[in-house]
Structure 1
Amino acid sequence: MQKKILIVEDEESLLKLESILLTTKGYLVQGATTGLAALEAVALEAPDLILLDIMLPELDGFEVCKQIKKNPDTRHIPIVFLSAKKTPADINRGEEVGADMYITKPFKSAAVMNIIEQLLDKD
């Protein structure tokens, strides 16, 4: 069965790029451009993994991650932060809210793919 990945990214060009990359690798991809849209998408149909930007309209990625991880129905979903925020404080905060991985932009798509495959193979 195809694994479903939710990409939460407010920058359209990056969202398209990530979607194309994952679709060509055989994943079902859904996109969301705001924190609230991400939470709605997860509530409707939980993805197998979430790629989450931090700087988002409405709710930031930290808050989105925290809400997903505190819900017993969704806390098992691996969350990978993809963010331009790269201070140790940001990375620590990512860990505190429950992110499974924190990747800083610019990133190499091969590295991101490896992480996604590792996290999805744990099932």
Structure 2
Amino acid sequence: MTVNLLTINQQVHLNQLKRVLLIEDNHVNRMLLSDYLGYCGFNVKSLSKGTALFSTVNTFQPDLVLLDLKLPDIDGYWLLEQIQKHPYLSKIPVIVVSAFAFKADQERAIHLGARRYLVKPINLAALMMTIQEELACHCI
């Protein structure tokens, strides 16, 4: 059996079709993740405030959301609950990227609808693999 691996150019081309909404209040983290995802070929929209999620979703129409839980304007757990209450939003996979490392935090986020939970500082290769897996699962 042979395995055909996509070249980086093919991967970037495939990713350009995908939109990632990043919600992260820390400017440096937001910039680094946004730049990295852009380098990997994703169309990235980044927000520093969670309250902007609902207005941004209508115009940007993300394929995936990366969400920090500790935001200055809104509780990330509450935001996860609100996402699940909207028929369209609840279909968008949410990956939590948080410094909250306790198992209880992770279980709560998953219970509230997060598809995956990554603890900061994140491994970029693991982040990319997680994003690719979630996007592959939700292509219908």
Name 1:66's counterpart in structure 2.
81
Counterpart selection for 1:8 from 13, 23, 27: 23
Residue 108 of structure 2 corresponds to residue 97 of structure 1: no
Q: How does the TM-score come out when normalised to structure 1?
A: 0.94
State the secondary structure of the residue aligned to 1:106: coil
Name 1:47's counterpart in structure 2.
62
The Cα offsets for residues 22-80 of structure 1, whole Å up to 9 and x where unpaired, read as 11111000011111012321243320000000000221221112111221111110000
2:24 and 2:54 mapped to 1: Cα distance?
Answer: 13
Letter of the 1:28 partner, please give it. N
The structure with higher relative contact order (CA 8 Å, sep 6+) is 1
Moved over 2 A (4+): 43-46
The sequence identity of aligned pairs, in percent, is 35
State the secondary structure of the residue aligned to 1:67: helix
State the secondary structure of the residue aligned to 2:90: coil
**Structure 2 unmatched runs, 5+:** 1-15
Q: How does the TM-score come out when normalised to structure 2?
A: 0.83
Q: Which has the larger radius of gyration?
A: 2
The number of aligned residues is 123
**Structure 1 unmatched runs, 5+:** none
